[in-house]
Amino acid sequence: MSTKQRETVEQMLRDAPFDLGGDVVTQRPLLEQMLTGHPLAPDVHTSAEQLGGVPVIFVAVAGSEASGVILHLHGGGFALGSASSSVGFVSDLARKARMSAVSVDYRLAPEYPYPAALDDATAAYRALLKREGGPERIVVSGESAGGNLALELLTAAKQRGLPMPAAAALFSPMTDLTATGESFTTKAGVDPNITAAAIKTRARDYLNATGTDPADPSVSPIFADLTGLPPLLVQAGSHEVLLDDATRLATRAAAHDVAVILDITPEVGHVFQAFSAILDEGDQALTRAGAFLHSHTSSAPE
């Protein structure tokens, strides 16, 4: 692990003008610029299409024989981010997993509050099931609020009788919209860019229009019945306020007989895997995530 690399990434995040809890009109273009500032690798091919009536971006890595497809849900507190801004992250994960990917451009709050994003994710998943002929070659992934939405999708799919995907990978998932984990206090001094106040602001945007309680299991998976979910990989950094959202989720999943791997990397922050090009820990974590996803699809029938 490189102390210099970690310090560089942390300083970049502290100096960035982006504020997760800030005004969405101002913050949306800032986050888009942050996440699309570097060109994609030349062997990454994308196409904007629709899946179940929902805008998506299909991602493929040339020369890779895909063992399956990743349905990815981007982060941004339910109010920021886009399918296109997540393509860099998704393409890196797809390369490591030897899979193709679909990044979902779900509707954002506050213009489209809960359950709009979940409805879009579910529609895309239903269409992908039909396209792939079943769930065996499908995995789900998501970072931050996208990790929450991935879990919302899985629990909703279970309730609706849809088949489970082969596995799911969750990167710094936001699992408790009440923001009550101890790490919101204990890690506040070392998290370079996420705060409890920002999480609560975005949760209000997501929920208030429909009067949904942030403790409702349908939006805070930490309180949900996780029985029957597919194998989960939960990754987080030890320097993020959402650390307890990850550790508590893994504990609950294990208590509900879900196969779960909790993978915590020390001294890095929120969705550190997004910096895999300049951070060894990020590259190594993505490699582990890719191997996890590939292991659950590589034996699927062609």
Q: Where in the sequence numbering do the catalytic residues fall?
A: 144, 240
| Range 261-290 burial, b when 16+ CB lie within 10 A, else e | ebbbbeebbbbbbbbbeebebbbebbbbbb
The answer to whether the CB of 171 falls within 8 A of the CB of 273 is yes
The answer to whether the CB of 172 falls within 8 A of the CB of 240 is yes
Q: C-alpha distances in angstroms, 167 versus 68, 261, 290, 293? A: 11, 11, 11, 7
Dump the DSSP string for 208-226.
Answer: GGGT--TT-TTT-GGGS--
Q: Which is it for strands 44-51 and 69-73: parallel, antiparallel or unpaired?
A: unpaired
Q: Round to whole Å and give the CA distance between 26 and 158.
A: 37
Cβ of 190: how many Cβ atoms within 10 Å?
17
